[in-house]
Amino acid sequence: MEAAKPSLTIAPRPSLIERLGMMRLDPIMLFAALGLIAFSIFTLDNATSHEVAGQPLYFVERQGLYALVGIALMLGLSRFDYTRLRDLRITLYGAMIAAIALVLVGGTAVRGSHRWIELPLFRFEPSELAKVVLCVTLAAFVFERVRRPFGLGSTLRLLALGVAPAALVFLQPDLGTGIVLVVIVIAVLFVAGIPWQHFAAIGAATVLLGGGAFAAGSGLGVHLLQGYQQDRLTAFLHPSDNPQDASYQVNQAVIAVGSGETVGRGNNSTQTELLFVPERHTDFVFAVIGERYGFVGSAFVVLLYALLFWRAIRVMRLSTSFYGSLIAGGIVAMLSFQVVVNIGMTLGLMPVTGITLPLMSYGGSSVLGTFLALGLLQSIHAQARTEAAR
């Protein structure tokens, strides 16, 4: 090290952005995320002013609050050294399993499904947080053994670690989140470089076991999926006009989106405005966007998601640590899967699974969980920029 010499130039006072460490954030990813949450609030403001009598801003205020808390969490997490999470992997994993189990035992049931824990101020859905925690912990477990070549045994152990929380979530029952967890597991293992043969073997085993279990279950009269889940999963294969059928919701959503034409119906909207499309502020929020803002609005939202994914995938390559790449891979898979499946459901391409649209659907747990994931990505990005600056 050179001896410090008194400098003639006065170092400029660091700007607010520098002091917040935002210099090292990915501005495009940040723009996409803020754009999406802003669009969500804008949509809720337009579409839900009559939802709760006497409180036209009910959903707007709450979603705004979740957004503020989420953005703060994201910025906070981005300054945090994510690699330290590796040391906490056992604690985090244990806590995640415990939280999901707690919901199963003592959670609040809504429509027959135990997904929530009542907290003093709000109702918390641990499975939303579990998605992010699974990315972090599974990546850590993978990273531990990445220096040795993957044997089938270690692959199976990692698989078991990942599938355990998914299985618990399936039991709640929450089919959608369970599938997302499985997708995260597959993505992390995929990015980790698990040999193709292992994937082939896992795939074959899943088909055999799943098919076998389903066949055996049907034979014994045990239903692995709830009736409505089965209906939803198969309904999109044979749509009908019968409002009693599960495909009714999808039909209505498709009509809503289609009726938006190029520039949308704005306040003349009927499909989403008159409740023909259910869950319009949560799972089917994209139907509202499609009807009110047309192809222009829908494509704009999809474009923001594309920006987000592009920057997230870029983070996988930027990361100084393989651990960061693994986490980013899980998060990319998680977000893109949710977006594609949710929009696909609204457009009649995919079955109804109850998966929310990240940053767009109303809901605290979903918004906070997504911002936490984005905070991790920004942390990975910030670390890479810091290293590069050195």
Q: Is 244 in the site for another protein (CB under 8 A)?
A: no
- Residue 358 interacting with another protein (CB under 8 A): no
Q: Between 96 and 312, whose beta carbon lies closer to another protein?
A: 312
Contacts 24+ apart (CB under 8 A), 121-126: 122/364, 124/364, 124/365, 125/363, 125/365, 125/366, 126/96, 126/99, 126/100, 126/102
State the burial class of residue 49 (Cβ atoms within 10 Å of its Cβ: 0-12, 13-18, 19+): middle
Rounded least distance, CB 9 to another protein, Å: 29
Q: Does 376 bind another protein (CB under 8 A)?
A: no
| Dist CA 281 CA 69 (whole Å) | 20
Q: Applying CB under 8 A, does 47 fall inside the site for another protein?
A: no
For the record, the structure tokens of 108 come out as: 């609040």
48 lies in the site for another protein, by CB under 8 A: no
Q: Is 388 in the site for another protein (CB under 8 A)?
A: yes
Spatial contact of 350 and 344, defined as CB atoms under 8 Å apart: yes
Stretch that binds another protein, among 1-9, 156-164, 207-215, 287-295 (CB under 8 A): 287-295
Q: Which stretch binds another protein (CB under 8 A): 102-110, 114-122, 232-240, 290-298?
A: 290-298
From the list 86-94, 215-223, 301-309, 364-372, the region that binds another protein by CB under 8 A is 301-309
| Interface residue with another protein, options 254, 359, 376, 377 (CB under 8 A) | 254
For another protein, which residue of 173, 290, 351, 358 counts as binding (CB under 8 A)?
290
Specify the 3-state DSSP secondary structure of 265.
coil
* Contact with another protein (CB under 8 A) among 63, 137, 172, 259: 259
Give CB contacts under 8 A, 24+ apart, made by 58-65.
59/281, 59/362, 62/362, 62/364, 63/37, 63/362, 63/367
Residues from 130 through 169 that contact another protein (CB under 8 A): 146-147, 149
> Which lies closer to another protein via its Cβ, residue 165 or residue 297?
297
If one counts every other C-beta atom within 10 angstroms of the C-beta of residue 161, the result is 17
Query: For the purposes of burial, counting CB atoms within 10 Å of the CB of 227, is it exposed (0-12), middle (13-18) or buried (19 or more)?
Result: exposed
State the number of binding residues for another protein (CB under 8 A): 56
* Contact positions vs another protein (CB under 8 A): 146-147, 149, 187, 190-193, 254-262, 265, 270-271, 274-276, 278, 290-291, 294-295, 298-299, 302, 305-306, 309, 313, 316-325, 329, 332-333, 336, 340, 343-344, 347, 349, 384, 388
